[in-house]
Amino acid sequence: MRRKPHCMQGLTMSQLESLQQLTDQARALAQGPGGLRMGPAETEVARIMQICNACRYCEGFCAVFPAMTRRLEFTAADTHYLANLCHNCGACLHACQYAPPNPFGVNVPQSLAQVRLTTYQQFAWPRSWGALYQRNGLTVAVALSLSLALFLIATLLMQGTAWQRIEGGNFYAIFPHGVLVWMFGPVFAWSVLALGLGVRDFWRAVLPVDGSQPAPIHAAASAETAHDALRLKYLDGGHGLGCNESDDRTTLWRRRFHHATFYGFMLCFAATSVATLYHYAFGWVAPYPLTSLPVVLGTAGGVGLLIGPAGLLWLNLHRHPEHGDASQKPMDRAFIALLFLCGASGLALLALRETAALPLSLAIHLGAVMAFFLTMPYGKFAHGIYRVAALLKFAIEKRLPNRLRLGSE
């Protein structure tokens, strides 16, 4: 008869239950909030941050390094917080004496970029859909846009309305307002819900604390977050000269192209919002005159979505190979391409609305916009949402007492 191991002899049932509870607690602590674990990417960031914490040369470059100095050890949640706080300007890599080929191999932008991808996957909603971040490449995005456009074009061909001039450029005569609402309303609502739940879980995982209690969100911290996010403060390289791109030279073009893209998108969103207000509140039905507020906002936004994404794509193609994570470039370019397609097709629709090409141009534009919203919760768009959350934590945390009293604080 096999004997029980000596270490288990004499243990009562209550002791076994206590041992199981301790094991469960240890497992929960190892896993961290939000189900975060110290995987290879998180472990590499923790290693690099320990080196950077001892050096402190880059302490004034961006928000990552002041946030780093408030810690001596780095949990999985810490690495995800710092990763999303990073704007990937590249300044620290080009200033670092321990960067490759040094044996320490310190590459802050690349290691943090790899953790960011894990953030998107870990906090995707539903969680099982996080794998879409690895598949959301340029080919998939363009193919989805074209497929949706071809479906709409096929519908027009079946109705015999694919090529006709419509008086006043009334695109509701092609696809009625109610049809468009039912097409885009659920997709937009799903995107907002998925992103909202994802960033909610992320915030719970990195929640700033004051002692043992969650730190309150003050108006000053919120205002600073909005200021830094809208200005893209940390794309100035920490010295106001901008990012490093292909070499040691700095440039502000990444910041400018980001501004053109962001504000172009927001102007287009504002145009849609104003048009919705006109339609439901005042009964003013599209199409609107060229000098109307929705058209002016949409035109300016469309121009921004041509200039910004085109510039970002050029920079992406010429970026230093050690900046960022090369495996994420397909996702980056898919996001850029869809934004460019939305802007270009929207401007083409405006230019052709008094011609027989209106139905086809409308189908192409709707296909691009639908593809953008379908991929929005599972593509590069998410980086802006998580970055704002990380900036908010930084703004809150810097107002709390620094118990370590190390570094500039």
Q: Which residue in the block uniquely carries the two structure tokens 């301790």? A: 22
Dihedrals phi, psi of 24, to nearest 5 degrees:
-65, -40
Domain annotation covers residue 402 = no
C-alpha to C-alpha distance for 397 and 403, rounded to whole angstroms: 12
Q: How many CB atoms lie within 10 A of CB 140?
A: 17
Domain annotation covers residue 213 = no
Range 266-270 average pLDDT: 97
β-bridge pairing 209-210 and 213-214: antiparallel
- The whole domain housing 138 covers 127-207+232-391
C-alpha to C-alpha distance for 208 and 328, rounded to whole angstroms: 29
In this model, does residue 3 exceed pLDDT 70?
A: no
Nearest to 324 by CA among 36, 65, 92: 92
C-alpha to C-alpha distance for 355 and 353, rounded to whole angstroms: 6
109 and 164 housed in the same domain: no
Residue scoring higher pLDDT (139 or 299):
299
Alpha carbon 239 to its chain's center? 25
Which band of pLDDT confidence, cut at 50, 70 and 90, is reported for residue 24?
low
Q: How many CB atoms lie within 10 A of CB 276?
A: 12
26 and 166 housed in the same domain: no
Domain annotation covers residue 190 = yes
109 and 133 housed in the same domain: no
- What pLDDT shows up at residue 131? 83
- What pLDDT shows up at residue 2? 43
CB 400 within 8 A of CB 210: yes
Domain annotation covers residue 3 = no
168 and 155 housed in the same domain: yes
257 and 157 housed in the same domain: yes
Q: Given 62, 94, 124, which residue is the final one in a domain?
A: 124
90 and 154 housed in the same domain: no
Residues 6+ apart with CB under 8 A from 6: none
The pLDDT tens digits of the residues spanning 198-245 come to 999 999 999 998 877 899 999 999 999 999 999 999 998 888 888 988
178 and 302 housed in the same domain: yes
C-alpha to C-alpha distance for 342 and 373, rounded to whole angstroms: 11
189 and 105 housed in the same domain: no
User: Counting Cβ atoms within 10 Å, is residue 179 exposed (0-12), middle (13-18) or buried (19+)?
Assistant: exposed
84 and 169 housed in the same domain: no
**In the beta sheet, which residues pair with residue 210?**
213
Domain annotation covers residue 319 = yes
C-alpha to C-alpha distance for 70 and 68, rounded to whole angstroms: 5
Residue 320 three-state SS = coil
Number of structural domains found in the chain: 2
253 and 338 housed in the same domain: yes
152 and 190 housed in the same domain: yes
Residues 6+ apart with CB under 8 A from 235: 87, 89, 242, 243, 252, 254, 255, 258
Nearest to 68 by CA among 59, 334, 344, 77: 59
Q: Given 76, 102, 124, which residue is the final one in a domain?
A: 124
- What pLDDT shows up at residue 139? 83
Domain annotation covers residue 158 = yes
In this model, does residue 145 exceed pLDDT 60?
A: yes
Q: Given 76, 94, 124, which residue is the final one in a domain?
A: 124
Domain annotation covers residue 290 = yes
Domain annotation covers residue 65 = yes
CB 320 within 8 A of CB 106: no
- What pLDDT shows up at residue 210? 82
C-alpha to C-alpha distance for 112 and 47, rounded to whole angstroms: 12
120 and 133 housed in the same domain: no
In this model, does residue 368 exceed pLDDT 90?
A: yes
